[in-house]
């Protein structure tokens, strides 16, 4: 129970709209997880896992470990270029998303798969590397 993944292609969507939708799916997953912890297996709800694909208009995001001085444009420069900016609670530094770039947002309860987050990230990397190979593009990991 709980190992199927719902795929959705959201098309071109603002970062903020995609973020709000992800938060809604995440909150629901947490709600189901809490419910299931209080019930025997027969009375549990099925956990839903989601894989969202989308494309964003130009946007920079700043993750928890990022530094604002790594952003090379100020508010005026961002506005002049028509680029949005969001501080987010995810890891990482500065990330750019824009037209033509496929963005994937997995929302999984890893208890149904495996709970080693580093293994999870390496698995995602491997999926991208193998997908690129299907198109004749050599992908690789960089150490660290």
Q: pLDDT tens per residue, the chain (144 residues)?
A: 557 899 999 999 999 999 999 999 999 999 999 999 998 888 899 999 999 999 999 999 999 988 888 899 988 999 999 999 999 888 889 999 999 999 999 999 998 888 898 899 899 999 999 999 999 999 999 887
pLDDT attached to residue 4: 87
Residue 7, class by beta-carbon neighbours within 10 Å (0-12 exposed, 13-18 middle, 19+ buried)? exposed
Cα angle at 140 between 136 and 144, to 5 degrees? 165
pLDDT of residue 2: 54
Predicted local confidence at residue 1, as pLDDT: 53
Q: How far apart are CA 139 and CA 36, in angstroms?
A: 40
- Could you state, in order of their start, the residue ranges of all structural domains in the chain? 1-56+98-109, 58-97, 114-144
Q: Which candidate, 83, 88, 57, 56, places its Cα nearest to that of 72?
A: 83
Closest CA to 12 of 88, 99, 97: 99
Q: Nearest to residue 22, comparing CAs of 71, 86, 113? A: 86
> At a CB cut-off of 8 Å and minimum separation 6, what does 5 contact?
49, 50, 51, 108
- Scanning the chain, the segments in alpha helix (DSSP H) are 15-37, 75-81, 117-134
The tokens for 116 are 């080693």
pLDDT at 7: 96
């Amino acid at each position: 129970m709980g190992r199927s993944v719902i795929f959705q292609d959201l098309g071109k969507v603002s970062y903020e709209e995609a973020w709000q939708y992800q938060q809604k799916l995440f909150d629901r997953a947490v709600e189901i997880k809490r419910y299931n912890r209080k019930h025997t297996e027969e009375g549990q709800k099925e956990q839903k896992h989601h894989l969202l694909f989308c494309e964003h208009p130009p946007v920079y995001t700043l993750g928890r470990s990022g530094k604002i001085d790594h952003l090379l444009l100020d508010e005026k420069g961002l506005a002049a270029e028509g680029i949005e900016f969001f501080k987010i609670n995810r890891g990482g530094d500065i990330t750019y998303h824009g037209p033509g770039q496929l963005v994937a947002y997995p929302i999984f309860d890893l208890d149904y798969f495996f709970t080693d987050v580093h293994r999870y990230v390496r698995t995602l990397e491997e999926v991208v590397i193998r997908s690129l190979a299907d198109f004749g593009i050599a992908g690789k990991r960089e150490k660290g």
